[in-house]
């Protein structure tokens, strides 16, 4: 029974942090009940939470807890605590499981022996104690009577957020109860299909989609329960259509309308292609025609484009897929790239290349061009041994966007084309001009310094940083790389970087400072001035002696 339940598995499922916290909740586990393959209990934390471990599930060990963290689908500390409590009594579990099976058999035997009147009395007693059970059975009874108006009214009640909402909104704490109630409405629709009333189920399913779409706007569905109910509702509608076989033309038009958002479908996402068997050739023809008409009327509409693309791909119509994308080209070349990849998939590589080249030409702002398009085109040129063309694209991209990445890409292309020195000098000239204008890179400091560091040209990088300035991050990298050949210069940089840290507190600051001190010590060793370092450290210790964690770190590193 516990082959999947081990401390190692609990730690893997929960993570180290939740596992450690679960150790502190062992004494909070109460009311452990062992069933045939499952264990439940209450765990007292901030509140009392109900937890359940499934030990023999198809997916291995799984658990559920109604704490906020558990409701998000996480294996929480309360589940860890229950798992550890179960492991502590593993020797008795086989006996408890056997007893659970015997109790189940005894219960089944007892129920089988009861008369109809006795069973009814027992059921009525349970209905009085269990409001959710009463609601489910009331809905089934209404459905069985064939009273569609009553079923519709009951579904509306179940989807009404009023009883759960404060100020017109269902908060997270009440969302689960609301979702459970909404799920009963979906179950009732499925029951209608099962009882031979699939046409009514179709009608109610569509009405319920509208109600659910309205309700979801006012519910905190952070854990996605209403999303799952929407998926279940879509399945219920499809099952009803398979059973009732509605008119294919009307169904096709409804599916298109739903896909295009005639109403906000909310969490009920329907794929019209799932209905291909129900629609048949006639319905699919209407579906395609309606989708084309809608797209022609709004070529830039997201829903219209998606539906057209979905139908075209399903039919293997690459030209239509391309036409859909070509009708709304993005200004940065991204859509051209999408088209190129579609053509590649269709083994139409020459057309794909032309679309990629067109994307580069038609980009309105070269600095905003989709970098994936640039990479795609350069890769195609390189594989075709068109190295000069790849270099031109990289040069233009760098010219529009002076970054370390575009510099590295230009360098690689120039190396492949055997003209790196010329390209490098031209690129560095642009970066020098940026540095003089005090233009900095994404992470601060001139890109010129980063480029020279990336080229391993330390002396030139140091000169550039001295002339134009540099970010502290760049100075630290410079000092680290120049420490062997320019220890005096590196020492000056380290001392300047360490100074502001001595005025700050916090363990991360202390770790940075100690790292710099180790580098400072190495510089003094290379300069053969250990006495100066000793005096520096002594003065630092005197000034910083109240920072106990810093003193401890320095002691650990022999400083």
In this structure, the answer to whether residues 430 and 518 fall within a common structural domain is: no
- Which residues make Cβ contacts (< 8 Å) with residue 547, sequence separation at least 6? 505, 510
Higher per-residue confidence, 100 vs 311: 311
Q: Phi/psi at 244 (nearest 5 deg)?
A: -90, -25
Do 514 and 466 have their domain in common? no
Contact (Cβ atoms closer than 8 angstroms) between residue 397 and residue 377: no
502 and 450, same structural domain?
Answer: no
Would you place residue 56 in the very low, low, confident or very high pLDDT band (cuts 50, 70, 90)? confident
pLDDT of residue 57: 67
Q: Which pLDDT value is given to residue 267? A: 84
Name the nearest CA neighbour of 447 among 467, 426, 471.
Answer: 471
Q: Tens of pLDDT along 28-42? A: 898 888 887 788 889
493 lies in the same domain as 531: yes
Q: Are 496 and 465 in contact (CB under 8 A)?
A: no
Instruction: Give percent of the chain above pLDDT 90.
Output: 55
> Are 109 and 100 in contact, with CB atoms under 8 Å apart?
no
Length of the chain: 559
Of 78, 113, 148, the residue at which a domain comes to its end is: 113
Q: 30: which strand partners?
A: 42
Question: Which of these three, 84, 113, 142, is where a domain ends?
Answer: 113
Q: Which pLDDT score is estimated for 4?
A: 74
Q: Residue 465's pLDDT is what?
A: 93
Spatial distance between the Cα atoms of 262 and 215, rounded to a whole number of angstroms = 17
For residue range 292-341, what is the model confidence (pLDDT) as tens digits? 999 999 988 888 999 999 999 988 999 999 999 999 999 999 999 999 99
Pair 487, 468 in one domain:
no
3 state DSSP class of 56: coil
Specify if 446 maps to a domain: yes
DSSP three-state, residue 443? coil
Q: State the total domains in the chain.
A: 3
Question: What are the pLDDT digits (tens) for 176-235?
Answer: 888 888 888 888 888 888 888 899 999 999 999 999 999 999 999 887 888 888 988 999
CB under 8 A, 24+ apart: contacts of 506-509: 507/549
Q: In this model, does residue 130 exceed pLDDT 80? A: no
Q: How confident is the model at residue 442 (pLDDT cuts 50, 70, 90)?
A: low
Q: Are 252 and 293 in contact (CB under 8 A)?
A: no
Q: Is the pLDDT of residue 263 over 60?
A: no
pLDDT reported for residue 452: 96
Please state, as a whole number, how many other Cβ atoms lie within 10 Å of the Cβ of residue 3: 10
The answer to whether the CB of 390 falls within 8 A of the CB of 409 is no
Residue 406: pLDDT band with limits 50, 70, 90: very high
What is d(CA 447, CA 440) in angstroms, rounded to the nearest whole number? 6
- Backbone dihedral region for residue 438 (phi beyond 0: left; psi -120 to 50: alpha; all else: beta): left
* Residue indicated by tokens 């000034």: 543
Check whether 265 has a pLDDT greater than 60: no
Give the C-alpha separation, 477 to 483, whole Å.
Answer: 10
Instruction: Say which residues have a Cβ less than 8 Å from residue 356's Cβ, sequence separation at least 6.
Output: 336, 337, 340, 373, 376, 377, 380
* More confident call, 114 vs 392: 392
491 & 540 share domain: yes
Say what percent of the chain tops pLDDT 70: 94
Torsion sign over Cα 242, 246, 247, 249: negative
Q: What is the DSSP string of 310-329?
A: HHHHHTT-HHHHHHHHHTT-
* Tokens, residue 483: 């420490």
CA distance 404 to 221: 43
DSSP structural state of residue 132: H
Q: DSSP for 140-164?
A: HHHHHTT-HHHHHHHHHHHH--GGG
Mean pLDDT computed over 427-454: 87
Does any domain span residue 101? yes
- The answer to whether residue 296 sits within a structural domain is no
Distance CA 87, CA 102 (A): 23
Residue 224 falls inside a structural domain: no
Burial grade of 81 (CB within 10 A; 0-12, 13-18, 19 or more): buried
| Separation of alpha carbons 126 and 382, rounded Å | 75
Q: Where does a domain end: 87, 113, 139?
A: 113
Q: Which residue has the higher pLDDT, 175 or 411?
A: 411
- pLDDT range class, residue 423, cuts 50, 70, 90: very high
pTM of the model: 0.66
- The reply to whether 467 and 489 lie within a common domain is no
Whether residues 445 and 504 share a domain: the answer is: no
Asked if residue 271 is part of any domain, the answer here is no
Across all residues in the chain, what is the average pLDDT? 89
In a domain? residue 451: yes
- To the nearest 10°, report the CA torsion of 209, 211, 213, 219: -130
Helix (H, G, I), strand (E, B) or coil at 402: coil
Do 488 and 468 belong together in one domain?
Answer: no
**Which residues, 6+ apart, have CB-to-CB distance to 236 below 8 Å?**
186, 189, 190, 193, 201, 205
Tell whether 434 and 489 lie within a shared domain. no
Q: What is the pLDDT of residue 1?
A: 46
Question: Where on the phi/psi map is residue 385: left (φ > 0), alpha (ψ -120 to 50), or beta?
Answer: left
Task: Kindly state whether residues 462 and 414 are assigned to the same domain.
Answer: yes
Number of Cβ atoms within 10 Å of the Cβ of 1: 17
Residue 527 is predicted with a pLDDT of 94
Structure tokens at 123: 């059921």
Full domain range(s) for residue 100: 7-113
Sheet of strand 48-54: strand arrangement: 29-34, 38-44, 48-54, 62-65
**Residue 49, CA distances (Å) to 11, 28, 43, 74, 86 in order:** 20, 10, 5, 14, 17
What is the C-alpha to C-alpha distance for residues 4 and 12, in angstroms, rounded to an integer? 12
**11 & 103 share domain:** yes
**Residue bearing the bigger pLDDT, 172 or 406:** 406
For residue 528, pLDDT beyond 90: yes
> For 384-398, how does the pLDDT look when each residue is reduced to its tens digit (9 = 90+)?
999 999 999 999 999
């Amino acid at each position: 029974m516990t082959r999947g339940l081990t401390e190692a598995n609990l730690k893997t499922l929960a993570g180290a942090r939740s596992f450690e916290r679960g150790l502190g909740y062992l004494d909070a586990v109460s009311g452990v009940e062992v069933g045939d393959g499952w264990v439940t209990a209450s765990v007292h934390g901030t509140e009392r939470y109900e937890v359940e471990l499934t030990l023999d599930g198809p997916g291995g060990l799984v658990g559920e807890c109604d704490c906020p963290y558990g409701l998000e689908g996480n294996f929480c500390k309360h589940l860890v605590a229950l798992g550890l409590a179960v492991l502590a009594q593993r020797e008795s579990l086989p006996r408890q499981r056997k007893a659970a099976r015997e109790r189940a058999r005894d219960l089944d035997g007892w129920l089988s022996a009861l008369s109809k009147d006795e069973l009814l009395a027992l059921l009525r007693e349970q209905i009085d104690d269990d409001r959710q059970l009463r609601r489910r059975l009331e809905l089934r009874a209404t459905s069985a009577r064939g009273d569609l108006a009553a079923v519709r009214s009951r579904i509306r009640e179940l989807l009404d957020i009023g009883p759960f909402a404060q100020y017109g909104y269902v908060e997270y704490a009440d969302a689960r109860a609301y979702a459970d109630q909404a799920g009963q409405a979906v179950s009732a629709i499925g029951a209608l299909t099962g009882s031979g009333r699939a046409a009514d189920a179709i009608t109610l399913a569509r009405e319920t989609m509208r109600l659910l779409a309205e309700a979801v706007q006012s519910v905190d569905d952070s854990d996605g329960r209403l999303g799952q109910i929407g998926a279940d509702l879509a399945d219920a509608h499809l099952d009803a259509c398979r059973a009732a076989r509605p008119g294919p033309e009307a169904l096709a038009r409804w599916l298109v309308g739903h896909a295009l958002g005639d109403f906000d479908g909310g969490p009920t996402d329907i794929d019209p292609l799932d209905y291909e068997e129900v629609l048949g050739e006639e319905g699919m023809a209407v579906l395609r025609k309606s989708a084309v008409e809608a797209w022609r009327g709004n070529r830039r509409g997201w829903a219209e484009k998606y539906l057209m693309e979905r139908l075209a791909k399903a039919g293997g119509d690459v030209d239509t897929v391309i036409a859909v994308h070509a009708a709304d080209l993005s200004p940065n070349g991204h859509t051209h790239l999408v088209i190129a990849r579609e053509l590649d998939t269709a083994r139409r590589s020459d057309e794909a290349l032309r679309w990629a080249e067109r994307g580069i030409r038609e980009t309105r702002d070269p600095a905003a061009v989709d970098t994936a398009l640039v990479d795609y085109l350069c890769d195609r040129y390189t594989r075709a041994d068109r190295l000069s063309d790849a270099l031109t694209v990289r040069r233009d991209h760098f010219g529009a966007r002076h970054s370390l990445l575009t510099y590295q890409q230009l360098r690689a292309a120039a190396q492949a084309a055997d003209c790196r020195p010329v390209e490098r000098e031209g690129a560095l000239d642009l970066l020098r001009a940026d540095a003089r204008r005090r233009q900095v890179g994404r992470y601060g400091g001139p890109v010129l310094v980063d480029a020279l560091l990336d080229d391993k040209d330390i002396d030139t990088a140091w000169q550039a940083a001295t002339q134009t300035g540099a970010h502290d991050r760049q100075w630290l990298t410079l000092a680290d790389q120049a420490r062997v050949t320019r220890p005096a210069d590196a020492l000056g940089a380290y001392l300047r970087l360490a100074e502001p840290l001595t005025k700050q507190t916090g363990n991360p600051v202390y770790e940075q400072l100690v790292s710099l001190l180790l580098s400072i010590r190495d510089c003094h060793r290379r300069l053969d001035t250990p006495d100066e370092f000793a005096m520096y450290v002594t003065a630092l210790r005197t000034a910083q002696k109240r920072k106990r964690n810093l003193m401890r770190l320095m002691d650990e590193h022999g400083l």
